[in-house]
Structure 1
Amino acid sequence: MMPLVLASQSPRRADLLKQMGLSFEVMPADVDETPRPGEPAAEYVARLACDKARAVSQARPEAWVLGSDTSVVLGNEILGKPADADEARATLARLSGQTHQVMTAVALARRQDCQVRLVVTDVRFRTLTAEEIHAYVNSGEPMDKAGSYGIQGLGGIFVESLQGSYSAVVGLPLLETAALLANAGCPVWTHWPRHLES
């Protein structure tokens, strides 16, 4: 397999790629993440995933580059990473007792060619108390996460139900990532360790 580069500094995405049995390099992308006026959330997430992959691919044209982006959407509003503790508390209060969507796109680029897949997952929060919102924000966990929570961490206790892809909510949809790599001629399973010979 040609070199694989993850265009993200997210440790959660790196952990998910390792879970797939892949070896890769990490090279975070530096792109403008400002939504365009009137841009639908799904288009925004897919565009950013491709922008990240293409940006790193320019520096590494010999490699396959994976880019990804995740947004939490309530109604039609994108809830990004909180600017401060007050914003994190306000976001969690809005998510309390509501169903929101987590949109995650994964893109595979080589040079300027970019293939992208979008996954939309419905996540419902139970009703949260002011005390637990305060304690969660004080833990620091929400501060670098879209929607001010991490389902794989302490925030997992807030999730009443989930319809869709758990790994996509964490930050990288495993099924779609494997499909992109397989379509590029690199099935993930060919890199798995072999302990038994049939």
Structure 2
Amino acid sequence: VIDIGCNDGSLLQYLKEKNNIDGRGMEIDQNKVQLCLSKGISVIEGDADVDLFDYPDNLFDFSILTYALQATKSPKTVLSQLVRISKKSIISFPNFGHWKIGTSLLLNRKMPVSNKLSYSWHETPNLHFCTINDFIDLCEETNINIEVKADLKNYKLSKYNGKNLFDSYFSEAGLFLISKK
């Protein structure tokens, strides 16, 4: 398993303890890399937009990108590289199509700040704001297979059956299992 944007390594540490995985991390922030190393987690300082090209095809069973897709310079390239270097990829991201974000924009006329989106517009690391439907379109455009989508509100996994307006409107986050077609 490789966790791209692994932060302090908590997910890798959890997966290692629970499932005895062989995990690696990639993190752009040097301070977070040091945190990982202090926990004994194998991590490199790297940038997904640049460094994923260095890995051979199908090196990993799984790659994970948690709440980092929107912060990459080229989400399309990063997704393509993830499904190239791993058999399956787990991707999560904030859904900017959620009704609360739209309502906040409509009523307050400014970018919302919340627990999950805690930065002001001028400080945010987010470069690309996308909705669940935008993500689905990108996967179709790049010939990426969506195998499973998660309904985080009801804690359900389901086989992907195409776009659903309600998912994009009511889900605060997108969580997908993807692979090469």
Highest Rg: 1 or 2? 1
For normalisation by structure 2, the TM-score amounts to: 0.31
Higher relative contact order (CA 8 A, sep 6+): 1
Normalised to the residue count of structure 1, the TM-score between the two structures is: 0.29
